[in-house]
Chains A and B, each alone.
Chain A
Amino acid sequence: MRHDKESYEGEIFELKAELNNEKKEKRKEAVKKVIAAMTVGKDEVQIEMVAWEMTLSSRAPDAAVLKGISQDDSPAALLEPPVKSQPGFLLLSCLLKLDTVLSGKSTLIYATRTSISISLFPDVVNCMQTDNLELKKLVYLYLMNYAKSQPDMAIMAVNSFVKDCEDPNPLIRALAVRTMGCIRVDKITEYLCEPLRKCLKDEDPYVRKTAAVCVAKLHDINAQMVEDQGFLDSLRDLIADSNPMVISFCFYKESNVGVVRLLHMVAALPQQILDSLTKECNECFQGKTILRKITFFLSESRLKFGGIIGGCFDRRPTSQLLNFPPFDLSVFLSLHIEKANTSPPQAPEQLARATEAPKKEEKLGLQDQENSEHSLVSLPQNVSENVTGLTDRVVSYFRQLVTKTGCVLAAIDKNRHLAFRCNILVVANAVAALSEISESHPNSNLLDLNPQNINKLLTALNECTEWGQIFILDCLSNYNPKDDREAQSICERVTPRLSHANSAVVLSAVKVLMKFLELLPKDSDYYNMLLKKLAPPLVTLLSGEPEVQYVALRNINLIVQKRPEILKQEIKVFFVKYNDPIYVKLEKLDIMIRLASQANIAQVLAELKEYATEVDVDFVRKAVRAIGRCAIKRQDNT
């Protein structure tokens, strides 16, 4: 696509002329050419000018030109891979591209851009109805960019948003709720509440995690509304959205994976079933080593499952259940049973609906192994409509499951993700959102950090993504433990994070530890051990990217002022290297002065002398001054 400069300029001239042509057809062709040029990435100043003229020339009524292009399917193939050549797709890519090219230009362009947008807005909203996910994403992006300047127009999109929040595809539900939060228009937020509430209880963790962040967004726009609508409570519930998987990980490596998996299911059962189940399990595993672990597990698993399961099944039509493999069915049924327990009125009907599925499957004549499970699954068919009678049935159902672990195993594994997903990400996002909100209310204890919640967070810490760990650690650093024992137990569970590869996780963990060190008795063994543990990770941070080094050094500078003993042995790592960026050099210099002591002063001075002969005048000046500072510092002692 390279042209020599001259012909390129000629081309530009022609384009400009065409853009101002009388005939609409000609103008249309010209606009196409400009877009093509933009798409191949020829971003010379001229192109911008042409684009500028294009925006001018296609003012209000002429926006039809752009529109015309979008409905014309032939040039699309020229620009994008064939799959993307749908009408509408091009229109949006053009608009976004224009936006990218023109962003930050004068207000005049902004005005014309807006005028195009207004006349095209209905078409854009029409595109929302598409079943092409990428097109949908583009529309959403476009709405995010324009809704603020065109609040009235944005209202047009509300209906589609609400509809998308109900879409069977979780990706679309999440996309809709995410975008709605980004459209910072008051009128839209009113409509946001209902879908958001649903999404907070969505069956899919991906949607829930997005919804959690959306609460923070909403709070940013309209704090009062968030409080009035009780979204904060929903967020707090989400923190309890943890999962037995966490606990089970501690004996994950047991060869009997199936048992562990099974326990996930068990953990989701309500309290009264659990109690009787404890007994049952004890019998099942009599004499086996795993017995102890199960009892432990059961005591740990008394987590409240809140409303997660509540909304889980209303959405899924019974017919769809047929498509699920037997194991999932059993999980679903057990969930149904739980639901039945929590909301008695609907229970019988729902159970009846749910149990239809296995019957049908029986007709399909599934073979072998699946059959045997299948009979297990169909057990709850007999479940009486009497809710109180459920418990016994479930127990016997699980007992059978437990005894037939072997055959369940394969099926379980096939569908592990559907069994019980770890929704740690949801927890992390909920924590992040709550911290964000509480930043604007310094006095309120929004997160409700009590020992019990802290414990939940610490449990979640082990299984989170790296970013989730940072949210949780940052949140922990705001907590005030009531005594040194609590502080120590938190420290014990935070210390492993010092070995994380992500430097941000390490620094956040260091922050928590530094804060809680205050509370520990100074002469305890644990205190001294912790001090020793802090040095190596801090030193390792210095082998990261220069920016990370810089942040680490700024933090180390503070740490050294507070507790010089941590790094007093490590002064050599702060010696300046030839290729360090200047900002790293200066920070290192400052830390060296702070760490200088009787024991290492000779070494430090030799280094500083070396730096004082470098070429960078600024650095030399600082080095010389550093020698002076060392001298003043040593004066008191010598």
Chain B
Amino acid sequence: MSASAVFILDVKGKPLISRNYKGDVPMSKIEHFMPLLVQREEEGALTPLLSYGEVHFLWIKHSNLYLVATTLKNANASLVYSFLYKTIEVFCEYFKELEEESIRDNFVIVYELLDELMDFGFPQTTDSKILQEYITQQSNKLETGKSRVPPTVTNAVSWRSEGIKYKKNEVFIDVIESVNLLVNANGSVLLSEIVGSIKLKVFLSGMPELRLGLNDRVLFELTGRSKNKSVELEDVKFHQCVRLSRFDNDRTISFIPPDGDFELMSYRLSTQVKPLIWIESVIEKFSHSRVEIMVKAKGQFKKQSVANGVEISVPVPSDADSPRFKTSVGSAKYVPEKNVVIWSIKSFPGGKEYLIRAHFGLPSVEKEEVEGRPPIGVKFEIPYFTVSGIQVRYMKIIEKSGYQALPWVRYITQSGDYQLRTS
């Protein structure tokens, strides 16, 4: 059904630690992993799934480590990948950073965790907050009455423990929208989507019942409200605490939250919006002598809003030299290791238009290999604003002890994968 064994390998492919869950794949097979990976990489046919004979390796890379799961069967691959990513998440929660060193220093606890995360190839408890209740960095003595299985593990609410107490009950809601944009070289928008995420920071006592109200168009239609100022969410994904069948029935987002930080939901809209920051560029390359770059950036959002920390990275040839810039605002910096010019503008009000001119020299002897044409990338952040117009209408918090809790909401829009191809 899923993984037979899980290995953590160092950057050279040497096993640091491994756990054999099913015993149907000889552990020595892992020796073939690295040579296979190198070979495929050379062939340019590298995939996240490599097969050696009848053994399949499903692998991901994290900093200087490879996490590899082996299987003989037609396993549920997406299950394995999400399990591996979850494993990384858990290790990071335990050791802050997951790398070779932290595995070596904590190998006992890594063994313990691997034992608890999966059994016979079936993922079990993977919530790091709950795991930390019974697998701790300090060793437990049984007589202290600790190191029992926390009831949460097998509870219906497997993500929140009982008896949490806060003096001040508060919830912080962050609505973060990232704009993904793909524009082709002649300036027409190929893809524009908004990926939103609602993150919660929960400081609430007891077992609170929360209900989140959004200006969701489907909900407004259901309840017969006017469609004005509502947003049509194309696809919504929820944290496991949200009751999905209720959402499916009447679009109510109701849940018992985990404690602390988590992502409650994410959504996607592919409604065409005007690109928030529009770039026009002219890159003229005079072979053997120079490159002239002109980039115009325009803020196409409301005048009251301001984009902060705008960074526009413009690609330049790798053999360019002697940069010269002229900017109407902000500062430009040549980053030779990435072959880009980064133009940063601290604050960029809506409706404004700025310009940069850059001049580079080119060597008279041209190098042989052809270069790709990386796109222009843009980074920005616009606070107090959502592109989609989504709004948190209410957050109801009900706990039987009847305390009053305050929800705080913050909106922010930022750049996601924002690419404009160059000609």
**A136 — nearest CB in chain B belongs to which residue?**
B142
Shortest beta-carbon distance from B42 to chain A in Å? 12
Residues of B within 8 A of A245 (CB): 156
Q: Are B124 and A467 in contact (CB under 8 A)?
A: yes
Q: Are A501 and B126 in contact (CB under 8 A)?
A: no
Q: How far is the CA of A409 from the CA of B207 in the complex (A)?
A: 14
Among A17-25, A334-342, A347-355, A432-440, the one that faces the other chain is A432-440
Say whether B112 faces chain A, with CB atoms less than 8 Å apart: yes
Among B231-239, B296-304, B319-327, B356-364, the one that faces the other chain is B231-239
Q: Are A547 and B182 in contact (CB under 8 A)?
A: no
Q: Are A41 and B105 in contact (CB under 8 A)?
A: yes
Say whether A550 faces chain B, with CB atoms less than 8 Å apart: yes
Q: Which of B374-423 contact A (CB under 8 A)?
A: 374-375, 398, 400, 417, 419, 421
Q: Which of B233-264 contact A (CB under 8 A)?
A: 234-240, 243-248, 254, 263
Q: If the complex has contacts A137-B112, A536-B234, are A170 and B244 also in contact, measured as CB distance less than 8 A?
A: no
Say whether A637 faces chain B, with CB atoms less than 8 Å apart: no
Say whether A313 faces chain B, with CB atoms less than 8 Å apart: no
Say whether A30 faces chain B, with CB atoms less than 8 Å apart: no
Q: How far is the CA of A417 from the CA of B157 in the complex (A)?
A: 10
Q: Which of B15, B24, B134, B211 contacts A104 (CB 8 A)?
A: B15
Among B43-51, B90-98, B213-221, B343-351, the one that faces the other chain is B43-51
By size class, the interface of chain A is: 35 or more
Q: How far is the CA of A540 from the CA of B238 in the complex (A)?
A: 13
Q: Are A439 and B73 in contact (CB under 8 A)?
A: yes
Q: Which of A461-490 contact B (CB under 8 A)?
A: 462-463, 465-467, 470-471, 474
Q: How far is the CA of A245 from the CA of B209 in the complex (A)?
A: 16
Among B115-123, B165-173, B334-342, the one that faces the other chain is B115-123
Residues of A within 8 A of B147 (CB): 133, 169, 171
Q: Are B78 and A249 in contact (CB under 8 A)?
A: no
**B252 — nearest CB in chain A belongs to which residue?**
A253
Q: Are A213 and B120 in contact (CB under 8 A)?
A: yes
Q: If the complex has contacts A171-B134, A504-B81, are A413 and B400 also in contact, measured as CB distance less than 8 A?
A: yes
Q: Which of B1, B60, B148, B369 contacts A169 (CB 8 A)?
A: B148
Q: Which of A542-590 contact B (CB under 8 A)?
A: 543, 545-548, 550-552, 572-573, 575, 577-578, 581-583
Q: Which of A104, A220, A255, A495 contacts B30 (CB 8 A)?
A: A104
Please encode chain A, from 406 to 428, with 1 for each CB lying within 8 Å of some chain B CB and 0 for all others.
Answer: 00010001001110011111100
Residues of B within 8 A of A508 (CB): 76, 78-79
Residues of A within 8 A of B417 (CB): 577
Q: If the complex has contacts A209-B154, A504-B76, are A577 and B419 also in contact, measured as CB distance less than 8 A?
A: yes
Residues of A within 8 A of B228 (CB): none
Q: Are A507 and B108 in contact (CB under 8 A)?
A: no
Q: Are B126 and A467 in contact (CB under 8 A)?
A: yes
Q: If the complex has contacts A131-B142, A417-B152, are A496 and B22 also in contact, measured as CB distance less than 8 A?
A: no
**A603 — nearest CB in chain B belongs to which residue?**
B190
Residues of A within 8 A of B27 (CB): 103
Residues of B within 8 A of A133 (CB): 139-142, 147
Q: How far is the CA of A581 from the CA of B120 in the complex (A)?
A: 32
Q: How far is the CA of A374 from the CA of B188 in the complex (A)?
A: 75
Q: If the complex has contacts A97-B107, A133-B139, are A500 and B17 also in contact, measured as CB distance less than 8 A?
A: no
Q: Are B154 and A496 in contact (CB under 8 A)?
A: no
Say whether B31 faces chain A, with CB atoms less than 8 Å apart: yes
Shortest beta-carbon distance from B368 to chain A in Å? 12
Chain A interface main SS type:
helix
Among A222-230, A358-366, A610-618, the one that faces the other chain is A610-618
Q: Are B120 and A216 in contact (CB under 8 A)?
A: yes
Please encode chain A, from 179 to 190, with 1 for each CB lying within 8 Å of some chain B CB and 0 for all others.
Answer: 001101000000
Say whether B184 faces chain A, with CB atoms less than 8 Å apart: yes
Q: Are B47 and A134 in contact (CB under 8 A)?
A: no
Say whether A32 faces chain B, with CB atoms less than 8 Å apart: no
Residues of A within 8 A of B265 (CB): 501
Say whether B266 faces chain A, with CB atoms less than 8 Å apart: yes
Q: How far is the CA of A436 from the CA of B18 in the complex (A)?
A: 23
Shortest beta-carbon distance from A26 to chain B in Å? 27
Q: How far is the CA of A495 from the CA of B236 in the complex (A)?
A: 12
Say whether A384 faces chain B, with CB atoms less than 8 Å apart: no
Q: Are B139 and A575 in contact (CB under 8 A)?
A: no
Q: Are A432 and B122 in contact (CB under 8 A)?
A: yes
Q: Which of A138, A435, A439, A467 contacts B123 (CB 8 A)?
A: A467
Say whether A204 faces chain B, with CB atoms less than 8 Å apart: yes
Q: Are B108 and A134 in contact (CB under 8 A)?
A: yes
Shortest beta-carbon distance from A41 to chain B in Å? 4
Q: How far is the CA of A131 from the CA of B248 in the complex (A)?
A: 49
Q: Are B78 and A540 in contact (CB under 8 A)?
A: no
Residues of A within 8 A of B120 (CB): 181, 213-214, 216-217, 433, 436
**A217 — nearest CB in chain B belongs to which residue?**
B120
Q: How far is the CA of A500 from the CA of B21 in the complex (A)?
A: 27
Q: How far is the CA of A245 from the CA of B115 in the complex (A)?
A: 29
Q: Are B112 and A426 in contact (CB under 8 A)?
A: no
Residues of B within 8 A of A148 (CB): 23
**A252 — nearest CB in chain B belongs to which residue?**
B209
Q: Which of A213-243 contact B (CB under 8 A)?
A: 213-214, 216-217, 220, 243
Q: Are B139 and A134 in contact (CB under 8 A)?
A: yes
Q: Which of B81, B151, B209 contacts A547 (CB 8 A)?
A: B81
Q: Are A615 and B370 in contact (CB under 8 A)?
A: yes
Q: Are B1 and A220 in contact (CB under 8 A)?
A: no
Q: Are B372 and A539 in contact (CB under 8 A)?
A: no
**B186 — nearest CB in chain A belongs to which residue?**
A606
Residues of A within 8 A of B234 (CB): 536, 539
Say whether A174 faces chain B, with CB atoms less than 8 Å apart: yes
Q: Are B400 and A243 in contact (CB under 8 A)?
A: no
Residues of A within 8 A of B211 (CB): 253
Residues of B within 8 A of A618 (CB): 44
Q: Which of A217, A423, A502, A547 contacts B48 (CB 8 A)?
A: A547
Residues of A within 8 A of B38 (CB): none
Q: Are B142 and A543 in contact (CB under 8 A)?
A: no
Residues of B within 8 A of A103 (CB): 15, 18, 27
**A511 — nearest CB in chain B belongs to which residue?**
B76
Residues of A within 8 A of B101 (CB): 41
Say whether B162 faces chain A, with CB atoms less than 8 Å apart: yes
Say whether A397 faces chain B, with CB atoms less than 8 Å apart: no
Q: If the complex has contacts A41-B105, A499-B244, A504-B79, are A582 and B44 also in contact, measured as CB distance less than 8 A?
A: yes
Q: Name 7 interchain pairs, CB-CB below 8 A, sorted by A.
A: A103-B27, A138-B111, A171-B134, A423-B154, A471-B122, A474-B1, A474-B76
The 6 nearest A-B residue pairs measured at CB: A422-B156, A536-B235, A417-B151, A41-B104, A205-B154, A496-B244
Residues of A within 8 A of B (CB): 40-41, 43, 81, 83-84, 89, 93, 96-97, 100, 103-104, 131-135, 137-138, 141, 144, 148, 169-171, 174, 178, 181-182, 184, 204-206, 209-210, 213-214, 216-217, 220, 243, 245-246, 249-250, 252-253, 255, 257, 409, 413, 416-418, 421-426, 429, 432-433, 435-436, 439, 462-463, 465-467, 470-471, 474, 493, 495-497, 499-504, 506-508, 536-537, 539-540, 543, 545-548, 550-552, 572-573, 575, 577-578, 581-583, 606-607, 610, 613-616, 618
